[in-house]
Structure 1
Amino acid sequence: MKIALVSDWYYPKVGGVASHMHNLALKLRERGNEVAIVTNYWKTGKEEELEKNGIELIKVEGVISPILSINLSFGINSSEELFEYLNDFDVIHSHHAFTPLALKAAKAGRKMGKATLLTTHSISFAHESKLWKALGLSFPVFSHYLKFPHCIISVSEASKSFIEHFTDTEIKVIPNGVDDKRFHPNWDKEELKEEYDIEGDVILYVSRMSYRKGPQVLLNAFSRLKEGTLIMVGPGELLPFLKAQAKFLGIDKRVRFLGYVPSNELPKLFGMADIFVLPSVTAEAFGIVILEAMASGVPVVATNVGGIPEIVRESQSGLLVPPSNETALKDAIEALLADKELRNKLGKNGRRAVERRYSWDVVSREVEETYEYVLSKLKH
């Protein structure tokens, strides 16, 4: 098959959509397909890797918003203007349901008679996001475009429930994937702790330093624990505030803010962790970092929001707490710190679930089967 994966939100925009597209492209190519990534006309930083792996990178010209990372030209341009970019493909697979390039590609694919799919990666426009303010309440626009895909893929039951508000198109749930060869439980924890000059238990947070991810809640909860080191990985607008918060709470000697960490370093950090925490205060469609923790055999403490409970409950890989509840978060972390046997059990459960359901090998096969299903419907 010749497959085009289309989105405004490929690299250099760091996030779940870009990571998902990139890994899916690599796996689909590995499975013998011809694959291209179609995105905005800017430097992605992935040019060499894609070329080395035989994946085409097609850049669509247009004015890109520096704030929203979307192609403003294609907010206005007609879908027909994408025909020249997409004409050679059998499958047009858009990613993220609410950005111009993805929506226009879905319409263009359908008009050209191609197998057309769209993966929705979100539950809602987080109410504090700039995207929400920019788009306003233009729901009829989305409903118009979301009728064009032959099939919509949702990364969780929660995101399926959300997208159903906008479309009657058939929806299939296929979760995000994780590279279970990069993220694995076979590290020597003590050796890694020595390398990072850390003693004792390690609690790990990997995500943006933004309010909706809840790092401020985690710091308050951690300040009530007597031991352990908290490692906080990720950039974001709250970082200066969080450093001040840690100092105010008197835990700055026990908290390490690493900022942005290159992706090749992350497996070691997960390999060193005793507990992984994602304390999101608003809905997450999925939370890929939870899969990275599970693949690494690390037990998870996360909040009961969005698609997170689906993963954690089904896999029995961790403990769930209410969002913004510092006491419950502290108690859950404390319970795992005190019970190594429980940590090991939850960690093994997580790894097993990844191998069965969330490995990119499994997920890419399921996506490919969905392409074949849509193509077979077009032939009849």
Structure 2
Amino acid sequence: MPSMVNLYTCMSKVKVCHFYSGNRFGGLEKFLINVQRYSNMTPKVDHSFALCFEGKLFDHLQHLKNNVELIKLNTLSNPIKVVLAWVNIFKMLKRNEIDVLVSHEIWNYILGYFPAKLAGVNVVLWSHTSFFDYKLYKLLKYFLPQEIVADSLHVSELIKERWPSIPVKTLYYPHPSPEGVPAPKASNDIPTILYVGRFARYKGLHILIESLKYLNDLEFKLDIVGGPQSVEEEKYKIELETIIKKFNLQERVNFVGEQSDVASFYFKSDIFCHPNIAPEAFGLVFIEALYCGLPIVATNIGGAKEIFASTDKVIGKLVNPNQVEELSSSLRDMIVHSKLREEIKIYAPEVSRQLCDPLLSMQKMEDYLIRFRKK
């Protein structure tokens, strides 16, 4: 017979459904996987998931726990498909007795708004972007959320400027230190610069590659982990390859593609560079790099700026966006000053832990979500 404590725990759990599209894979998708992985750290919350697409995220979530539902919809422009999706979402919310639908990003929020309201379910928008000029955000005046969760203080401030009447809560991602150990370095090893991420233009990979033309007098190499996830990104990769050939960087720049063991690349690298020309909402790759002791060279905007401001320690260098020569100069400093890199390696992991320790982040998430238990 279950104890009264266990009965109370079961009865008092808040049922949360995380709703997302799931057709790409990056920092947000890693976050949702970690919510699933560390769900035992929120004993007062029962997490489940609903996705619009099958794929890598769906498989990861389903592998961890069989609590993922598929709402098949790939467009908001087909009225019949939208209505069918509404019906499926409504049935799911009622069947699973969901207390709050947490919609990750605006597309899913607008899709889930009416079914949630009809089902008497609380609905929250969790924003993971800095780009509020996207046309769907103009519809928020018709679908005002009860609250918005932001994944960084940077995003929170942007939301407050645009929608001052909507309450905003900042919650950092739960993210663990990657498993592994730094690869031993010989004194004659060539310093490795690392980029990890999608091939989205705003991430500034073309700026990084062009900056290398000023470093021909130094020994170094650049490893690019990741790959295109859309037609636009395929075209962008072709542009990057053209820049590499133009400046004769073929022997220095390596496209290593998507990797299941990204941690091994962090651990064998010396410098992490991500020179955004538009801000990251937060930038989980910065957290991963710091966990692995890498100094960061990034632009002084968005998530990178916020992470640097969170500590009084030197964790790398910030430069202005779109400044090729300034970026090159900062990379040169990091390549040349191996002693500084070693100093940063000592305290960089603690910066990530203070922001994204899984237990602390999941407990803060639980404290926020239990407020939405239906009466």
User: TM-score scaled by structure 2?
Assistant: 0.83
Matching of residues 33-112 of structure 1 within 5 Å: 33-40=45-52, 42-46=53-57, 49-62=60-73, 64-65=74-75, 76-77=82-83, 81=87, 82-87=89-94, 88-96=97-105, 98-99=106-107, 101-112=108-119
Distance 1:314 1:78, change over 3 A: same
* CA distance in structure 2 between the aligned counterparts of 1:258 and 1:248, rounded to whole angstroms: 20
8 Å CA contact 2:129, 2:155 repeated in 1: yes
- On the 8 A contact 2:127/2:150 being kept in 1, the answer is yes
Question: Equivalent residue of 2:214, what SS?
Answer: coil
Counterpart residue identity of residue 124, structure 1: F
CA distance in 1, matches of 2:206, 2:138: 36
Q: State which of 204, 211, 230 in structure 1 corresponds to 2:222.
A: 230
Distance 1:72 1:343, change over 3 A: farther
Return the offset for 1:113: 3.8
Q: How much does 1:111 deviate? A: 4.8
| CA drift at 1:19 | 2.1
Aligned to 1:306: 302
Cα root mean square deviation, aligned: 2.7
How do 1:1-380 residues align onto structure 2 when only pairs under 5 Å count? 1=13, 2-8=15-21, 10=22, 12-29=23-40, 31-32=42-43, 33-40=45-52, 42-46=53-57, 49-62=60-73, 64-65=74-75, 76-77=82-83, 81=87, 82-87=89-94, 88-96=97-105, 98-99=106-107, 101-125=108-132, 132=134, 135=135, 139-145=137-143, 147-149=144-146, 151-164=147-160, 165-166=162-163, 168-180=165-177, 182-183=178-179, 186-190=181-185, 199-225=189-215, 226-236=218-228, 237=233, 238-262=236-260, 265-315=261-311, 316=313, 317-375=315-373, 379=375
Report the 3-state secondary structure (helix = DSSP H, G, I; strand = E; otherwise coil) of the residue aligned with 2:158: helix
Q: SS state of the match for residue 307, structure 1?
A: helix
Q: How far off its partner does 1:309 sit?
A: 0.2
Answer whether contact 1:78 1:104 (CA < 8 A) is retained.
no
Equivalent-residue separation in structure 2 for 1:359 and 1:272 (angstroms):
23
Q: Distance in 2 between matches of 1:319 and 1:187?
A: 22
For residues 44 and 85 of structure 1, the distance between their equivalents in structure 2, rounded to whole angstroms, comes to 20
Q: CA 1:348 to 1:86, structure 2 compared with 1: closer, same or farther past 3 Å?
A: farther
In 2, the alpha carbon distance for the partners of 1:139 and 1:217 equals 29
SS in 2 for 1:5: strand
Runs in 1 of length 4+ with deviation above 4 angstroms? 46-49, 70-76
Residues 151-186 of structure 1, C-alpha deviation per residue, up to 9 Å, x if partnerless? 321011221122231462211111233221x256x3
> Relative to structure 2, which stretch is displaced further, 48-57 or 80-89?
48-57
Task: Report how many aligned residue pairs link the two structures.
Answer: 347
- Range 308-317 or range 281-290, more displaced: 308-317
Deviation at 1:311, TM superposition (A): 0.8
Distance in 2 between residues matched to 1:73 and 1:189, nearest whole Å: 58
In the alignment, residue 128 of structure 2 is paired with which amino acid?
H
- Measured after TM superposition, the shift of residue 94 of structure 1 is 1.2
Give the partner amino acid of 2:201.
Y
RCO greater where, 1 or 2, for CA within 8 Å and sep 6 or more? 2
Please tell me whether the aligned partners of residues 125 and 145 of structure 2 are also in contact (alpha carbons under 8 angstroms): no
Q: Deviations over 1:6-37 (max 9, x none)?
A: 012x2x41223222222212222454443221
| Aligned partners of 2:51 and 2:58 also within 8 Å | no
In percent, how many aligned pairs have the same letter? 20
- AA of the residue aligned to 1:54: K
The amino acid that maps onto 1:121 is H
Larger radius of gyration: 2
Closer, same or farther: CA 158–79 of 1 in aligned 2, 3 Å: farther
Deviation at 1:144?
2.3
Q: What is the rounded CA distance, in whole Å, between the counterparts of 1:271 and 1:72 in structure 2?
A: 46
In structure 1, list runs of 5 or more residues that go unmatched: none
Provide the rounded CA distance (Å) in 2 between the counterparts of 1:190 and 1:274.
10
After TM superposition, the score normalised by the length of structure 1 is 0.82
